[in-house]
Structure 1
Amino acid sequence: MRLIVIAVGRLKQGPERELADRYQKRFDDIGRKLGFRNLEMHEITESRARDTATRIADEAAAMSAAIPEKSVLVALDERGDNVDSSTFAAHLGRWRDESVMNAVFLIGGADGLSPDLQRKGRLRIAFGAATWPHQMVRIMLLEQLYRAGTILVGHPYHRA
């Protein structure tokens, strides 16, 4: 199963990029042992449209174009469900065992993810009730993917 993160915006060089790259590499190392292909990142350019609705629609169109067929979608949304790490890992393990081709994680831009993409998500998750910058959400998602891999393989990284 391929894991794909499609995110609006770019992580610039610096500590955020370094941390994201570190968790992506860690996941790739452990993911191969679990039958996952490399974790792919697709950065979508932020829309320059003046009004919010058009920006969200433009970004949704670009994100939709990057989603492969036969994909399970996971929408990251501040109004999504709070899912603990073990449950998150169980979702990934189940999809892998069900031979899902692609699990695609969608991170919207500053205006959020389009309602249409949110509805298409098999899972809609939040990282708590707070609103987070989309760059931080990307890092937190990558850490959770790595943590899920460690849970599935029985590595002691996850101790809770």
Structure 2
Amino acid sequence: MNPARCRIVAVGKVRRGWIQDGIDLYLKRLPGFSITELRDSSAAKEAEAIRSAIRSDETLIVLMEQGDVLASIPFAKRLNHYGNERLVFVIGGADGLTEEIKAQAHWQLSLSPMTFPHELARLMLVEQLFRAQSILQGSPYHRA
């Protein structure tokens, strides 16, 4: 997994300082990785903003409750499978993603069967991406 070839597109702003501090910590550890924030609005407007934010050369991965639930090592292996493809992870707003966006996804991923605020989901995803990189590089960060 190459962090410079991955990014997150997320609806809404991070309003809690402690969550932003955590995100910033992992972003420092993932050089080249970026997060694009979109304004929260109606589902239709959010979907349009998401479509506009995704580049044609990116593989779309959406986060949703009904997506695949993977432990950290299988998640890292799945990311490794994409090689040098450009990946964009999309986190929807409070009402989730439209069926159209979900259908366009190459992969539907769930961080947990539980539901989390989008801010926390963003922090958890960034941490898991860092963990996946650590697993693939054989770093001691992940202790299974």
TM-score (norm 1): 0.84
What is the letter of the counterpart of residue 7 of structure 1?
A
CA distance in 1, matches of 2:34, 2:117: 21
Alignment of 1:45 onto 2:48: no
Task: Report Cα offsets for 1:36-75 as digits up to 9, x if no partner.
Answer: xx1111000011xxxxxxx111101101101111211111
**Aligned counterpart in structure 1 of residue 126 of structure 2, from 110, 129, 142:** 142
Who is 1:120 aligned against? Answer: 104
Please state whether the residue corresponding to 1:103 is helix, strand or coil.
strand
What is the letter of the counterpart of residue 140 of structure 1?
M
Who is 2:17 aligned against? Answer: 14
Alignment of 1:79 onto 2:66: yes
CA distance in 1, matches of 2:114, 2:81: 29
TM-score (norm 2): 0.93
List structure 1 runs of 4+ shifted beyond 3 angstroms: none
What is the letter of the counterpart of residue 18 of structure 2?
P
Please state whether the residue corresponding to 2:7 is helix, strand or coil.
strand
What is the letter of the counterpart of residue 122 of structure 1?
H
What is the letter of the counterpart of residue 108 of structure 1?
G
Please state whether the residue corresponding to 1:76 is helix, strand or coil.
strand
Please state whether the residue corresponding to 1:152 is helix, strand or coil.
helix
What is the letter of the counterpart of residue 27 of structure 1?
L
Cα RMSD after superposing both structures: 1.2
CA distance in 2, matches of 1:118, 1:21: 28
Q: Considering only CA atoms, is the larger Rg found in Structure 1 or Structure 2?
A: 1
Who is 1:131 aligned against? Answer: 115
Instruction: Structure 2: state its 5+ residue gaps.
Output: none
**Aligned counterpart in structure 1 of residue 88 of structure 2, from 104, 108, 116:** 104
CA deviation after TM superposition for structure 1 residue 27, in Å = 2.2
